[in-house]
Chains A and B, each alone.
Chain A
């Protein structure tokens, strides 16, 4: 059966990943190397479980890169991107230019023609976005100075892929024209012809980019809201995937890099209130596809070539890495990356990239490169990618320790993406006044709520509201729990509230949890977890109602107010005792129907035994009056 075959394939890939990635992680290599090794093992060279179809799969899995760039875009506001313009075009542009010339120059030494050398230089100057970003994120280095600079360079390379694709066929034409006639009108027409197509293309590209910006800026939030209102999570996921696929298709139609389009869409959506939910939905697909991509890179490595001529391949590999490394180190220094940051920057970008696979086969089709050179280049690029995690390990273990101060350096310059000190889950009848109070005191709060109706209004009034179910762990990470100080649980659902509390205590022990308790049992469950900062949501309102009642019955306003204050503190004391009862006999509370009655009885009995501390004797003069009376009596007695 056809299905059966598909499942067996899936089984091979999944088991390879499930087995090798944890081992690689445990050994400190990171997931990327784990996937690559898994690919090599199941590939034709070792077990031969997968054959040629691995390459098709690689093209499919490249889609993971598109998703990754969308996610990166979501983290970058346009203003931040603007700040990075110098490193994108300056650092990134120079890296491409100098690396191309250096690598091309070396290729000339290996007896390649000028056009071949230029093609090789352009192809190998590119680095692996997938490998680098995945590795940097995994190691928590993406927000360091080196990580940010590496990202700028990669972004420039992604942009450059488009002109490179246009340039490669021209290199072949040049070879033809030199070989054939003198400067005929042909080549000029050819270029001229390209220009005409180019103009149409430019117009199309502009229309599409404008379209993405407009849709992302003005239409997306309404679409997301309508989808969110259905309350069906899988439809939201489907919409997120639709978004990515649609961008890829549209960009592909005009010959632009889908990754670039996705990145643009991400940046446009970075201010969108559904941003976190979008991240959470795309994240797992991205992870799996990238994993698949690395596996297929591993599987496509032609080790026969390595065995036939190991000397050539390995020396070329060394030359590639050393050349790129030196260029990067020099440029990094010129752009202010010193010490450990410069090292990290240079090591992380010193390999060939996945675009090389595309460009090499493209060059082969256009007769720019011959099959022999192509095969060697493919092998060198794949090996250089596999070497990256190892190089980083060497960097970390042997080189980094010499730059003692580098961790501080890294911390000092992190990307500020508007994370707030307070995160609140739930923004209904209870959460709203809490949020208002915070905003009124100038404290920005990130609010997570899954009611799409209010989000628009709230955003207009300065609340930073995100749509999403706060019990989903990804959303908690995306909301900035790493950097926040206080997490307020304002949900009206005890199970959800406790689920969040448990997760936060486990993952973000630094976060101070303040919880809304919707019942006594809920309060005790907080106490059980060591959360003493909780409030029973109805208690204070009840107290204020009782103040009003006492006042109507003739209590002086201050007297009633003070009585309530005393009662409040008295209640805290009683709660401690009730909590002990709860711990002794939790089962009693489990039967829902009995709970309130049991609670009430327990509460009232405890209250009887521990009535309010004496009587409130503040400002009470009765004892003094008695004393004076006694004195007067004594005086009178002595007179008589």
Chain B
């Protein structure tokens, strides 16, 4: 098979992955896909000892980075923050001479317990997903990369099989489209979630 247009590095952070139904199904959609490397952070680094050298090498070898995780306290589970703290080093990812990641793209895939309406000015969470993801957006920006619209699945706590199957199918399609560079970049500014481009 020919080399994929974009090689994807998918970071999966879920401290109780064995209990998760939705995230397990989503990661299942990405497994065994050509051109997609999955890094299960809690499996690889159960003691939080992150191999910085190896991680940086992998980043260099891929074009698109995906951070997939449940949306804990409007952010990521702690190991992903640890990864960001340690791997995106000054002089490598940002700062003077830190241009190693220039031009790469990053997408966040999150699952939230609350429904979409909760993430609005009048909702319980008061801010939109886009607003809450600002720290990630800015991190990516500072590292000279492009932050793509997020892939979001809401209402994970009471999700029904039908919606779950649909989410999985959409996610798979989105990953393949990213890999094969099928999206029109102009569309990114017009949409809220990446899901919209493939649904």
Check if B95 sits within 8 Å of A618, measured CB to CB: no
The size class of the interface chain A forms with chain B is 10 to 19
> Which residue on B lies nearest to A618, using beta carbons?
B86
Q: A618–B47 Cα gap in the complex (Å)?
A: 16
Check if B85 sits within 8 Å of A565, measured CB to CB: no
Check if A565 sits within 8 Å of B49, measured CB to CB: yes
Chain A residues numbered 580-639 whose CB sits less than 8 Å from any CB in chain B? 613, 617-619, 623-624, 627, 630
Check if A627 sits within 8 Å of B95, measured CB to CB: yes
Q: How far is the CB of A184 from chain B (nearest CB, A)?
A: 83
Check if A613 sits within 8 Å of B95, measured CB to CB: no
Among B48, B51, B89, B96, the residue within 8 A (CB) of A617 is: B89
Check if A623 sits within 8 Å of B91, measured CB to CB: yes
> Which residue on A lies nearest to B82, using beta carbons?
A618
Check if B85 sits within 8 Å of A569, measured CB to CB: no
Among A618, A623, A624, A627, the residue within 8 A (CB) of B85 is: A618
Check if A624 sits within 8 Å of B49, measured CB to CB: no
Residue interface mask B42-64, A partner, CB < 8 A = 1: 00000111011100000000000
In the complex, whether A566 has a CB less than 8 A from a CB of chain B is yes
In the complex, whether B90 has a CB less than 8 A from a CB of chain A is yes
Q: A618–B51 Cα gap in the complex (Å)?
A: 11
Q: A566–B45 Cα gap in the complex (Å)?
A: 12
Check if B95 sits within 8 Å of A619, measured CB to CB: no
Q: Which residues on the B side are within 8 Å of A566 (C-beta)?
A: 49
Q: Which residues on the A side are within 8 Å of B48 (C-beta)?
A: 565
Check if A623 sits within 8 Å of B47, measured CB to CB: no
Q: How far is the CB of B46 from chain A (nearest CB, A)?
A: 12
Q: How far is the CB of B99 from chain A (nearest CB, A)?
A: 14
Check if B53 sits within 8 Å of A613, measured CB to CB: yes
> Which residue on A lies nearest to B95, using beta carbons?
A627
Among A568, A613, A627, the residue within 8 A (CB) of B96 is: A627
Q: A617–B85 Cα gap in the complex (Å)?
A: 11
Q: A566–B85 Cα gap in the complex (Å)?
A: 16
Q: Which residues on the B side are within 8 Å of A569 (C-beta)?
A: 49, 51
Residue interface mask B94-120, A partner, CB < 8 A = 1: 011000000000000000000000000
Q: How far is the CB of A226 from chain B (nearest CB, A)?
A: 46
Q: Which residues on the A side are within 8 Å of B86 (C-beta)?
A: 618-619
Check if A624 sits within 8 Å of B90, measured CB to CB: yes
Check if B85 sits within 8 Å of A619, measured CB to CB: yes
> Which residue on B lies nearest to A565, using beta carbons?
B49
Interface SS of chain A: helix
Q: Which residues on the B side are within 8 Å of A618 (C-beta)?
A: 52, 85-86
Q: How far is the CB of A619 from chain B (nearest CB, A)?
A: 6
Chain A residues numbered 535-570 whose CB sits less than 8 Å from any CB in chain B? 565-566, 568-569
Residue interface mask B63-95, A partner, CB < 8 A = 1: 000000000000000000000011001110001
Q: A613–B91 Cα gap in the complex (Å)?
A: 17
Q: Which residues on the B side are within 8 Å of A624 (C-beta)?
A: 90, 95
Q: How far is the CB of B121 from chain A (nearest CB, A)?
A: 36
Check if A623 sits within 8 Å of B90, measured CB to CB: yes
If A618-B85, A623-B90, A627-B95 touch, does A565 touch B53 (CB 8 Å cutoff)?
no
Q: How far is the CB of A114 from chain B (nearest CB, A)?
A: 71
Q: A617–B92 Cα gap in the complex (Å)?
A: 12
Q: A627–B85 Cα gap in the complex (Å)?
A: 18
Q: A341–B150 Cα gap in the complex (Å)?
A: 59
Check if B49 sits within 8 Å of A623, measured CB to CB: no
Q: Which residues on the A side are within 8 Å of B51 (C-beta)?
A: 569
> Which residue on B lies nearest to A623, using beta carbons?
B90
Q: A102–B7 Cα gap in the complex (Å)?
A: 79
Q: A617–B52 Cα gap in the complex (Å)?
A: 10
Q: A167–B21 Cα gap in the complex (Å)?
A: 68
Q: Which residues on the B side are within 8 Å of A613 (C-beta)?
A: 53
> Which residue on A lies nearest to B94, using beta carbons?
A624
Q: A568–B51 Cα gap in the complex (Å)?
A: 13
> Which residue on A lies nearest to B86, using beta carbons?
A618
Q: How far is the CB of A533 from chain B (nearest CB, A)?
A: 14
> Which residue on B lies nearest to A622, using beta carbons?
B90
Among A565, A568, A623, the residue within 8 A (CB) of B95 is: A623
Q: A627–B47 Cα gap in the complex (Å)?
A: 32
Q: Which residues on the B side are within 8 Å of A619 (C-beta)?
A: 85-86
Q: A627–B95 Cα gap in the complex (Å)?
A: 8
> Which residue on A lies nearest to B48, using beta carbons?
A565
Q: Which residues on the A side are within 8 Å of B95 (C-beta)?
A: 623-624, 627
Q: Which residues on the A side are within 8 Å of B53 (C-beta)?
A: 613
Q: A566–B86 Cα gap in the complex (Å)?
A: 13
Q: Which residues on the A side are within 8 Å of B52 (C-beta)?
A: 618
Q: A568–B49 Cα gap in the complex (Å)?
A: 10
Q: How far is the CB of B1 from chain A (nearest CB, A)?
A: 32
Q: Which residues on the A side are within 8 Å of B96 (C-beta)?
A: 627, 630
Q: How far is the CB of A190 from chain B (nearest CB, A)?
A: 75
Among A565, A617, A630, the residue within 8 A (CB) of B47 is: A565
Residue interface mask B24-58, A partner, CB < 8 A = 1: 00000000000000000000000111011100000
Q: How far is the CB of B78 from chain A (nearest CB, A)?
A: 14
Q: Which residues on the A side are within 8 Å of B47 (C-beta)?
A: 565
Residues of B within 8 A of A (CB): 47-49, 51-53, 85-86, 89-91, 95-96
> Which 5 A-B pairs have CB atoms at the shortest separation, nearest pair first?
A623-B90, A618-B86, A627-B96, A565-B49, A624-B90
Residues of A within 8 A of B (CB): 565-566, 568-569, 613, 617-619, 623-624, 627, 630
- Identify 23 residue pairs between A and B in the complex whose beta-carbon atoms are under 8 Å apart, listed by A's number: A565-B47, A565-B48, A565-B49, A566-B49, A568-B49, A569-B49, A569-B51, A613-B53, A617-B89, A618-B52, A618-B85, A618-B86, A619-B85, A619-B86, A623-B90, A623-B91, A623-B95, A624-B90, A624-B95, A627-B90, A627-B95, A627-B96, A630-B96
Given contacts A566-B49, A569-B49, A569-B51, 16 further A-B contacts (CB under 8 A): A565-B47, A565-B49, A568-B49, A613-B53, A618-B52, A618-B85, A618-B86, A619-B85, A619-B86, A623-B90, A623-B91, A623-B95, A624-B90, A624-B95, A627-B95, A630-B96
